[in-house]
Amino acid sequence: MRHSHATQLLRQGIHPKVVSERLGHATIAITLDTYSHVLPGIQEEAALTLDATLRAIMPQA
């Protein structure tokens, strides 16, 4: 039940720090090491978000 709870929170976009605190982990690293398989596209998502942000604030040449 604990693993399912954490997995569902992460899949719903709840910040890993919040999930870590709910689970009582000493550090967020424990949570991320244990549940990183739940967030396989996190690197690509971060890159796309940054790209969109930069395109919005940078003047077009």
Q: Greatest CA separation found in the chain?
A: 53
Place of tokens 């996190």: 42
Residue 59 has pLDDT above 90, yes or no: no
The residue behind tokens 């890159």 is 47
pLDDT tens digit sequence for 14-57: 999 999 999 999 999 999 999 888 877 877 888 999 999 999 99
* Token representation of residue 16: 């890993």
Place of tokens 């992460």: 10
Residue 61 has pLDDT above 60, yes or no: no
The tens digit of pLDDT for each residue in 4-22 reads 999 999 989 899 999 999 9
